[in-house]
Amino acid sequence: MPDRPVPPRSLRERVEQWVQWVGPGRLVGSAAVVLSVLAGAYWLVRPPVATTESQLPMAGSPSASTSSTLSDAPPARATTTTTSIAAQVVVYVAGAVVHPGVYTLPQGARANDAVRAAGGFSVQANADAVNLAAIVADGQRVYVPRVGEAIVVEPAGGTSATPSEPVNLNTATADELDVLPGVGPATAASIIAFRDQHGPFSSVEQLSQVRGIGPAKLDAIRGLVTL
């Protein structure tokens, strides 16, 4: 019987025997075909290359995160920085008040505000002699007279003025009457006209019958006139 071929003793010998049977030319050609097929398949199934335009956000299509941020953001508030400092006036409160002194008040404050800033009237104050509704001006002196004290007139210039002696209603001239608080040229002329028409004044209270003199003005000049 013929001898059987001896099988290869290792994998390497088997591979070398297969290469000899196929032939190197066929093996190289087959490998080239396989590589070409694989390259073609990869080219067909590979994802397209991202362009610069494709990476830009689409107009009118915000992302989900951007939409969420915009919806959660509080509405913008317009802020305007305005420096506003209220105007103030400085007044000197003197006379029959608890704490005489210089006080700073808001513009438009009344004499009542000035007296309250000074602690209010003292027990000796003649409160009726002060027009608490008057608006105070910067640099003004608010004076509260005591009971029985001659009323001090504060003219616009801020200098204290008061008659040197009580004014006689029956003999005073228009200029002398004009010195009285709240009595101007028109009121002085009315006092003289009333005196000429009705005769001498019989009492200070009779001034209330003169045109232009009301209860407040009468109270202001009562202590400064005589008969």
Residue 134 neighbours by CB distance under 10 Å: 14
Residue with tokens 């030319």: 25
pTM: 0.35
Percentages helix, strand, coil for the chain (3-state, rounded to 5) are 40, 15, 45
* Structural domains of the chain in order of their starting residue, each with its CATH number: 86-162 (3.10.20), 164-227 (1.10.150.320)
Q: What angle do CA 180, 99, 128 make, to 5 degrees?
A: 35
> Percent of the chain beyond pLDDT 70?
59
3-class state of residue 204 by DSSP: helix
Pick the closest to residue 172 from 198, 206, 195 (CA basis).
195
32-81 pLDDT, tens digit per residue, is 776 777 776 666 666 665 555 555 555 554 454 444 444 455 555 544 44
E strands within 5-135? 88-95, 101-106
